[in-house]
Amino acid sequence: MSRIAFLGSPEAALPTLTALAGGHDLPVVITQPDKPRGRGRGPKPTPVSEVAKRLGLQVATPETMDELEAALHAARPLDLGVVVAYGRIIRPGALALPEWGMLNLHFSLLPRWRGAAPVSRALMAGDAMTGVTVFRIDDGLDTGPVLTAQAIDIEPEETAGALTSRLAAIGASLMTRVVPAYLAGDIEPVPQSDEGLTHAGKIEQGERAIKVEGSRGDEVNRVRALSPTPGATLVIDGVTHQILRARASRHDPQPGSWVDVSGVPVAGLADGGIELMAILPPGKKVMEGAAWLRGLRRSTGEVA
């Protein structure tokens, strides 16, 4: 049975973790340290940490690169490392510790969307297709040679959360097929081309705001790309709300205003209106746009 170190942190890494745990020896699972999360903001373990412990696996939460290398050394001998959204750049010394190096499951069709936020960037750009890529990590940013990839169509109203979940499941299936073939020497990684290269930089705070002067298509894509977290924002009657679902409307309110259209709030942008289908007001829970409107007891207002 092959010995694999698993490195990952968020929920999107769980399908691959559980799939590999069912058929391989995982002597160590490496994840990010506990951080403040949730309403109480108390320190909580990552989803990977929680599931790995339930599976009876040894968990390490290194704070530094030296600690990461020490955790890998302690788990040797290692045949392979598998990385899914670990959240840190891994330096060459650590990459060299498993005999066959480390494989990464990346949520895009490389070289498109190399970087930290491939799903959000694909949606924000209005891409019709994306996918998952398994590649061997080198010392560049998502530049390593590719073992395999699988493409999928993006659904018209799919959010980043839903698309990530779908890619995570597809990627787990892909990884479980690739690992044994790679360790048997049956797959030779192919160097990446830079043709079609795009970069998926992390989402900055200033990118969250829906632009009243923007187009419906771009701003609906912004909402999809940032849902459920960190959430696109819209100032409604002077108060900043998160908008988690939106779609283009046939109605055309004055740009910078919102109106009640058959019980649904519609915000006016430069080229037409968008329905605000799911809204998170400050200090409250997510609600349907119609429910938000009923609680407001108004039919018009301003957005910015």
Q: Which domain holds residue 243?
A: 205-302
Same-domain status, 170 and 231? no
Same-domain status, 242 and 211? yes
Overall number of domains in the chain: 2
Tens-place pLDDT, residues 173-211 = 999 999 999 999 999 999 999 999 999 999 999 999 999
Q: Is the pLDDT of residue 47 over 80?
A: yes
CA distance linking residue 58 with residue 61, whole number of Å? 10
Omega within 30 of 0 (cis) for the link into 230: yes
C-alpha distances (whole Å) from 148 to each of 141, 178, 180, 181, 287 are: 18, 8, 13, 11, 41
Return the pLDDT at 283: 93
Same-domain status, 142 and 277? no
Q: Is the pLDDT of residue 41 over 80?
A: no
> End of a domain among 183, 199, 215?
199
Compute the average pLDDT of residues 156-179.
Answer: 98
Same-domain status, 224 and 272? yes
Tens-place pLDDT, residues 226-280 = 999 999 999 999 999 999 999 999 999 999 999 999 999 999 999 999 999 999 9
Cα three-residue angle 282-283-289, rounded to 5 degrees: 55
Same-domain status, 77 and 103? yes
Return the pLDDT at 38: 62
Return the pLDDT at 35: 85
Same-domain status, 42 and 107? yes
Same-domain status, 189 and 209? no
- Cβ–Cβ under 8 Å, residues 140 and 90: no
> End of a domain among 168, 199, 230?
199
Same-domain status, 17 and 137? yes
Same-domain status, 195 and 209? no
Proportion of the chain above pLDDT 90, given as a percent: 95
Compute the average pLDDT of residues 111-120.
Answer: 98
Query: Mean pLDDT lowest for which of 30-44, 131-145, 249-263?
Result: 30-44
Return the pLDDT at 40: 61
Same-domain status, 75 and 224? no
Under the banding of pLDDT at 50, 70 and 90, the label for residue 65 is very high
pTM of the model: 0.95
Compute the average pLDDT of residues 141-165.
Answer: 97
- Average per-residue pLDDT in the chain? 96
Where residue 261 sits, what CATH number does that domain have?
Answer: 3.10.25.10
> End of a domain among 147, 175, 199?
199
Same-domain status, 220 and 76? no
Same-domain status, 15 and 115? yes
